[in-house]
Chains A and B, each alone.
Chain A
Amino acid sequence: MNRLRQQVVCFWLQLKILLFSPFEGFLAVVFPLMFATAALLVYQVNGDPAAMLYAGIGAAAMGIWTSQTVSATTLVQRERRAGTLELVVAAPTPFSLVLLPITFAMATIGLYSVVATILWDRWLFDIALHVANWPLFVLSILMATVTIALFGFLLSVTAVRYRTSWALGAALEYPGWLLCGFVVPLDLLPAVLRPLSWALAPTWAVEGMRAAAAGESPWSDLAICGAVGLVYAALAAWLGVRLITAARRDATLALT
């Protein structure tokens, strides 16, 4: 019970840090919107409404991906610079439980960017989302947000030991757009990359969103998505313990 409260309070305080400046919040939404706009302008040339819907949904998920992969790794780096990393590691709370609320605070920002993208699609491109099953569609969006957050969580754990892993987060941003099939169908990618796409939870979440919009059943996609997300979480918790030990052995907690 106290643990739950702890997670909620920490989530709220971390959200406060993230929402610190309205300008930063604005930027967090503007970038995804610009990418979405670019993707939709390309698709518009065809004049095919089905393709527009395809791209519109993908662009929404892309926003969460963009706002989280990069920020997840810079987050630990930020704690390191502020000198708080050592203090939170020295606290009795397991480190993964310190990172989890931070990850969810970021996921919340990601959710906000999905909503913004959907509204933007509607106003600018007149893409009225014809969603057959709204509750399942919203569930799929939430799954996308949570699993992308968990992926960010996994990345941020590695940043505890490896100071340069923020670069990995940044480097994953654009390949992720392709690999998760946000705006380009996966069938167009070389088959060797297929397993990589399957290992990325957002791939399944976007499939789920599309299935729910089209009135098909998203459950199988969502189940796989949830399973992959859980694997991320388990892997992060397992790695977390090991990487913290490595950081204590190699004295990289205090270095900036």
Chain B
Amino acid sequence: MPLTERPAVEARDLRRTFRTKQGVLRPTRKTVEAVKGVSFEIAPGELFGLLGPNGAGKTTTIKMLITLLIPTSGSASVLGHDVVADVREVRRRIGYVFGGDRGLYERLSGLDNLRYFSELYGVPPREQKARIGSLLELVGLTGREGERVEGYSRGMRQRLHIARGLLHDPDVFFLDEPSIGIDPVGARELRATIAGLREQGKTVLLTTHYMFEADELCDRIAVIRSGEIVAEGTPGELKGLVSAGRVLEVETYGVADGVVETSRTLGGVRSVVVEDRGQVQVLVVSCEPGAEVTQAVLGQLGDTRVGRVSHRDPTLEDAYVELVTR
């Protein structure tokens, strides 16, 4: 196979189970199937999103790909190197950043943290200084690098993490909820940084709980639920997959029982959910393409007080909610 066609990341039927103990006096062993046969490919230079609810198995999948966990079965490779057999080759070529404020040496300065990891990643001594300098600039920590990390704010730690992940200029990045705990301005800068990585031709696997972030950044998205991929495609395809058509939103004040059920049976209606938004309850009706259901739905509501009625295009979040709740 020519070099350019080889996927940057390839997972084939990955599975992972965990054994956990419950109870102190009479411990019983329980097996958790965290990942149940996940397969996907990421092309070189692609930004791939892995979305899914809490506990779906995203972090577990990533940890298998970055060699921190050995798959129970199945296989995976990164840039053609098997994640079990060629551990060192894989580690040399990947960067890993996770969200939250752990994973740093609190007692060292930001600069020393970066120096330590530069050594562990074998960044050539001659390039280290310039490299660290430009990364501090990139994540906006220039001037604060001499302070101990214990005094850093959460966002500063997160940005230091990102600089750490970039130190050895890896070709493939694994970003596990990198924007967690960052303020909106910082998150926007982070998205720009991630987009910049893709422009440099890096391959990125990103997990996030923010749908707009995935929508804005990802070339392709896989939705994972209870350890299985339930949908895969571009953000546009995913939106189309579940809800080609429009979404009707009707604000009501106290929707009567049964309205949701009867509305579901109307022609042209695909799904109906009620969302509480403060005082009002919003009936979110997703419709078949071209179907006109507004009058029919309003008819179902009878005497119920109705507020604003609006139409919109389905968002990635609509698609996501449908996929993971179905």
Contact = CB atoms under 8 A, between A and B. Distances in A.
Do A and B originate from a single complex? yes
Nearest to A3: B122
A82 B105 contact: yes
A83 interface: yes
Interface stretch (A38-46, A88-96, A148-156, A179-187): A88-96
A84 B69 contact: no
Contacts of A5: 119, 125
A32 B15 CA distance: 51
A86 B67 contact: no
Contacts of B18: 251
Interface in A236-256: 245, 248-251, 253-254
Interface string B87-100: 01001100010001
B117 interface: yes
A251 B115 CA distance: 28
Interface in B152-172: 164
B108 A90 contact: no
Interface stretch (A12-20, A208-216, A217-225): A12-20
A248 B119 contact: no
B266 interface: no
Contacts of A248: 67-70
B115 A13 contact: yes
A255 to B, nearest CB: 10
Nearest to A9: B119
B103 interface: yes
Contacts of B116: 9-10, 13
B103 A16 contact: no
How many chain A residues sit at the interface, stated as a range, is: 20 to 34
Contacts of A6: 119-120, 122
B103 A98 contact: no
Given A16-B112, A90-B67, A90-B68, A83 B119 contact: no
B121 A86 contact: no
A98 to B, nearest CB: 7
Contacts of A88: 120
A147 B106 CA distance: 29
A92 B19 CA distance: 28
B66 interface: yes
Contacts of B69: 248-249, 251
A interface majority secondary structure: helix
B91 A17 contact: no
A86 B103 contact: yes
Contacts of B117: 87, 91
Contacts of A251: 18, 69
B267 interface: no
B68 A93 contact: no
B188 interface: no
A245 B85 CA distance: 12
B129 interface: no
A86 B102 CA distance: 11
A253 B68 contact: yes
A9 B107 contact: no
A230 B107 CA distance: 32
A248 B67 CA distance: 8
Interface of A: 2, 5-6, 9-10, 13, 16-17, 20, 82-84, 86-93, 98, 245, 248-251, 253-254
13 contacts: A9-B115, A10-B116, A16-B108, A86-B68, A87-B117, A90-B66, A90-B67, A91-B117, A92-B88, A92-B92, A92-B121, A93-B120, A248-B70
Interface of B: 18-19, 63, 66-70, 88, 91-92, 96, 100, 102-108, 112, 115-117, 119-122, 124-125, 164
Of all A-B residue pairs in the complex, the 4 with the closest CB atoms, nearest first, are A83-B102, A91-B120, A83-B103, A20-B107
Given A10-B120, A88-B120, A254-B68, 19 more contacts: A2-B122, A2-B125, A5-B119, A9-B115, A9-B119, A10-B116, A13-B116, A82-B105, A83-B103, A84-B102, A87-B96, A90-B67, A90-B68, A91-B117, A91-B121, A92-B88, A93-B120, A93-B121, A254-B63
